Structure 1
Amino acid sequence: MFHKMRRKVQQLSPEETEAVLLRGTAGVLALTGDKAFPYAVPISYVYDGEHIYFHSALEGHKIDAIRRNPNASFAVIDQDEIVPEKYTTYFRSVIVFGSIRIIEDEEEKRAAVRKLAIKYAPERTEAQHRAEIDGAWKRFCMLEMSVAHMTGKEAKELVARK
């Protein structure tokens, strides 16, 4: 169903792929947009080792696209070092394929947004997280991406450095 990587030597191990997702702070979520045009949106996220979570407004292009077709891909760039003398970059990135659902259950939504809060504001207390979440509760929704396939790749020069 999913293409196999052509340059296998550049493929990241499953552990390296997960490490990129765990340390990343933003990626690009690609959905089927209006009139079947791709819709790609930069977005913050949290990966818990099983699912990827995003927050969103209650309505808009992203939500409309997910309701029409929940299939998505999500790309995270871990490294992109420009090497002008070689006309290339030394890159490392991950792409995830899966489906997205809007979390409707209040407890599940609260658990998902708490993961985001801890990732992006780890120094804040539980009470501070709760107050921030409660203050925005009615204005946002949480999205969960189930992972069907993920792969990572890096420049051959980075492979050689290992």
Structure 2
Amino acid sequence: MYIVCHDRNNLWVRVIEFDISNQGIAGGQYHVHLRNRTCDCGRFDALRYPCAYATVACQNLRLDPMSYVDDVYKIEYMYNVWRHVFPPVPDERKWPSVSLAPFKLLPDRELCRKPKGQPYSSRIRNNMDIRETTNQPKLCGWCRNPGHTSRSCPNRNE
């Protein structure tokens, strides 16, 4: 990667990634704004964790990339989440009663099992599936003769 520093005061950097054709890596240009914690790749914004381009920019500007890691990734933050005391769940007999009268409970059709039998076809038919002439008789799948099917084919036992 090659770094071009545009504005050292506002921490605005352009990172140019070179193509590595034998490894299948396509290069590109990414603008990293460390003060706003943004990068064109989108990972720095979404994960709130420095991406590879932000890490390279920090190295070039002699900054610590760990200072751009959000607090949710730090161990102190996790301890603060579990610091509070959770009350125990009371016995089920002591739960308040809830009336479900205004609600109609309907099953979700997507979660129901499919009915037994032949499965539904999801195939999209096109011109290839339509016979050229509609009066052409169906052919046997076994001997390719008209007038019967492969189940009742007289040549099947031969």
Alignment TM class, shorter chain as reference: under 0.3
What TM-score, normalized to structure 2? 0.20
What TM-score, normalized to structure 1? 0.20
Bigger radius of gyration among the two: 2
Which structure: greater strand fraction? 1
Which structure: greater helix fraction? 1
